[in-house]
Amino acid sequence: MSSIKEDVSHISHGEEGVMKKLDTAHGDEAIRVLAAYDGDQTWTPEEEKKLCRKIDLKLLPVLCVTYAFLYADKVLLGQAALFGIKDDLGLSTGNRFSMASSIFYLGFILGAYPVTVLAQMFPIERVASLAIIVWGTTLIVTPACTNFHGLYAQRFFLGFTEAGISPIFMMIVGGWYKKDEQSLRMGAWYSCTGYVSIFSPLVNYGLGHLEGRLSPWFYMYFFAGALTIICGVVVYFVLPPDPIRAKGFNDRERFIAVSRMKTNNSGVRNTHFKGSQAIELLTDIKFWLIFFYAVCSMFANAPISTFQAIIIDGFGFNPLNSLLLMMPSGFYAGTMMLIMTYLAYKFPGWRSYLIIISQVVTMVASLLLWLLPREELGGLLFACYILTTTGAGYAVSMGLFLANNAGYTKRSLASSGLYIGYSLGNFAGPQVFRTQDSPHYNLGFIVVLITAIVAGLFVFVYRILCSMENRRRDKMGTVEGFEHAYEDDLTDKMNMQFRYSL
């Protein structure tokens, strides 16, 4: 039977039995729920499992569908390239197509922090809904672009509006799930980046063959933009933001949902931005190791998200077969994300090793794509498919990084920082896949190989530092505990009871 009776009493009761003032500026808003509840403060594992299933049913479908749209929109440019967008907008000259892909992530970099700060200050579900609606509107007006300059501007703003969604989702997962549960849930919605690629090529092939006065790729953007706008409206009404404010939970369910999060030592929600936590993040070497891991690992995403259809087309297939041959890649990517995050759930001490294994597979894929003769189509396709393993490692890293940052401001900024690293890698990656290197792209795959090796080394050093810090705290005689999980909004560096996941 679980219990936090003593801790709750410390939070919610003073000498006279009632807490007269709740300090939610320094502490976490979760103390409101704990202070207001006067029922049984213990619960059974079965009761917690039932609640967790209810949370999954309310939260994960929203996150999965939204993230599927987000990734489908990202890869749309590469698929539209097979149906005339390059010729219509002058993207075939020089490195314009690569820049059109990269500039999206420049907007992503500049938009990540502002949207995340807004999501801390205002209701997170409303910020997410507005961002999705604006991104869908930006997507649906893509056909208004008449040249590559207009497309650059559209792609930049599209990245800016999409930037906050992933960090917001990380924060929502961090507020609902315990450390050991987070990786699997993040894997669930992140796997949709793979599974949506099973269906989007078929949909876009059909749309690309609609007859009319408009270019075929116009219909792709109209359809994707309209669905995204609808998704944004739905998110406003159905996204459960956190256990404190979510609808559809009774007092006891809300109490258990909040209470069980004490074991994270990272809080649930605090609307006050704390500059000291931002400074701590920027001076934390562990943050920079994962940041640069994200940068390096995402060089491999360029031949996945933007160039995969073009690379497969370069093997000698027609546009239809090129799109159809992307479908196994999507299935493999989504399944590997689920497998890796499930293993991270079952063996939490192996998370960093799972990320490193993913980078090793990425190295093998890039070697094959670089060195195999063009007539070895089976081997080349196999390499294209397993290259997506880098996404499985990244899915594990999101859960690991979220679990290892405490203090609400620090955790929210860390989530954005991870995606800025992700965006820098995605910005630089397409630049090494140059038009003059088509269809082999030898330079690109050499760079992917080198950056995959470096990314694995960053994660290995990160694990060593976290392990050393855990041992140092053990030797100090401070055991892992959760007394300060809510009332002080302590960071992982300040709270000696905090232990880093490995």
Q: Can you name the residues that pair with 2 across neighbouring β-strands? A: 43
Tokens of 256: 């258990």
pLDDT in tens, 412-423: 888 888 888 988
The model's pLDDT over 294-325, given as tens digits with 9 standing for 90+, comes to: 999 999 887 776 666 667 776 666 666 777 77
Which top CATH class is 43-261+275-476? mainly alpha
Q: Using CA atoms, how far apart are residues 225 and 141, in angstroms rounded to an integer?
A: 8
Q: How many residues appear in the chain? A: 502
pLDDT at site 265: 62
pLDDT at residue 84 in the model: 84
pLDDT digit string, tens, across residues 199-243: 887 887 788 778 778 888 899 899 999 999 999 999 999 998 888
Decide: helix, strand or coil at residue 444.
helix
Percent of the chain surpassing pLDDT 70: 88
pTM value? Answer: 0.80
* Burial tier of 260 (Cβ tally within 10 Å: 0-12, 13-18, 19+): buried
Between helices 389-403 and 165-176, what is the axis angle to 10°?
50
| Burial zone of 144 (CB within 10 Å; 0-12 exposed, 13-18 middle, 19+ buried) | exposed
> Beta 42-43 vs 2-3: how paired, if at all?
antiparallel
The answer to whether residues 419 and 174 touch, using CB atoms and an 8 Å cutoff, is no
Say if residue 55's pLDDT is above 90.
yes
Q: What is the DSSP letter of 440?
A: T
Res 310: pLDDT: 67
Per-domain residue ranges of the chain: 43-261+275-476
Spatial distance between the Cα atoms of 187 and 331, rounded to a whole number of angstroms: 14
Strands (E), 177-259: none
Interatomic CA distance for residues 72 and 69, integer angstroms:
5
- Give the pLDDT score at 451: 96
* Token pair of 336 as six digits: 């590997």
Whole-angstrom Cα distance, residue 296 to residue 83?
Answer: 31
